[in-house]
Amino acid sequence: MTIYIDARITEELAQRVFDVLLRTISEPGKVLPLPNEVISKSLPLNLWLPLVLSDVDTTVHIGTSDIDHQRLVFDASGAIPKALTEADIVVLDQSNSERISNVRTGTALAPELGAKVALNVTRFNAQTDNSENSVSLQFQGPGINGSRDIQITGMSLNVLNQLGTNSGPYPQGFDTWLFSEDGLVISIPRTTRITSKNGGN
């Protein structure tokens, strides 16, 4: 894990975020809160994935035009800027999430080379949300006892249907973290099967 030189991101805070992200990958689809201090940093929450998982050997693509945010990530971590199709870690937001179809999925012999992807969504809903931009999903797979249901607002069904086991031919794919505006996060590993209750896979 990276040790930070940026005054806004202490090593202790980075470790706490790292611990949350690690826990989410072991419990796919379970909504967990990020530390309160993260929300107060005025940074897009999806930037925390490269901030805590990258170092000088990591290639990162940040799909934002905000130069200050890009500089923060690369200066704090020492990561190497790379094209979306080649990066170890990819950061996308709601405006360019459709580009997720182009991220790296590893190979049959080395599926672990698939990218780690961070996406922003609006919110996760425990209760039924009938808004137009809300999708209802069921997760199944390793780390899940039976199944886990969740509703997500702020991400297209087309994008969500490309995550988990749909992200590449087995055993290939990429791992994804979704960050909500109120500081919550879930993970969708490449081994997680997603069933949409709105139709589709």
Q: What is the pLDDT of residue 1?
A: 46
| pLDDT number for residue 65 | 79
* Statement: residue 5 has pLDDT above 50: no
The per-residue pLDDT for 40 is 76
Is 90 exceeded by the pLDDT of residue 200? Answer: no
Which residue type, as a one-letter code, is found at position 161?
A: N
Q: Domains in the chain, start-ordered, CATH in brackets?
A: 11-122+156-191 (3.40.50.11310)
SS3 164: helix
pLDDT, average across residues 128-148: 85
Give the pLDDT confidence score for residue 39 in this predicted structure.
83
Q: Which of 25, 174, 177, 170 is nearest to 105 (CA)?
A: 174
pLDDT above 50: residue 96: yes
Query: Smallest Cα–Cα separation from 64: which of 13, 1, 120?
Result: 120
Sort strands 184-188 and 175-179 into parallel, antiparallel or unpaired: antiparallel
Which pLDDT score is estimated for 185?
A: 98
The model's pLDDT over 47-80, given as tens digits with 9 standing for 90+, comes to: 999 999 999 999 999 998 788 889 989 998 999 9
Residue 2 pLDDT > 50: no
What does the mean pLDDT of the chain come to? Answer: 89
In tens, the pLDDT along 143-170 reads 999 999 999 999 988 999 999 999 999 9
pLDDT value, residue 4: 42
Question: Could you say which DSSP state residue 4 is in?
Answer: P
Q: What separation in angstroms does the CA of 118 have from each of 1, 7, 136?
A: 17, 23, 20
Per-residue pLDDT at 142? 96
7 — pLDDT class (breaks 50, 70, 90): very low
Over range 19-41, report the average pLDDT: 93
- pLDDT at 23 exceeding the cut of 60: yes
Q: How confident is the model at residue 128 (pLDDT cuts 50, 70, 90)?
A: low
pLDDT value, residue 137: 92
| Beta carbons of 188 and 176 less than 8 angstroms apart | yes
Check pLDDT > 90 for residue 95: no
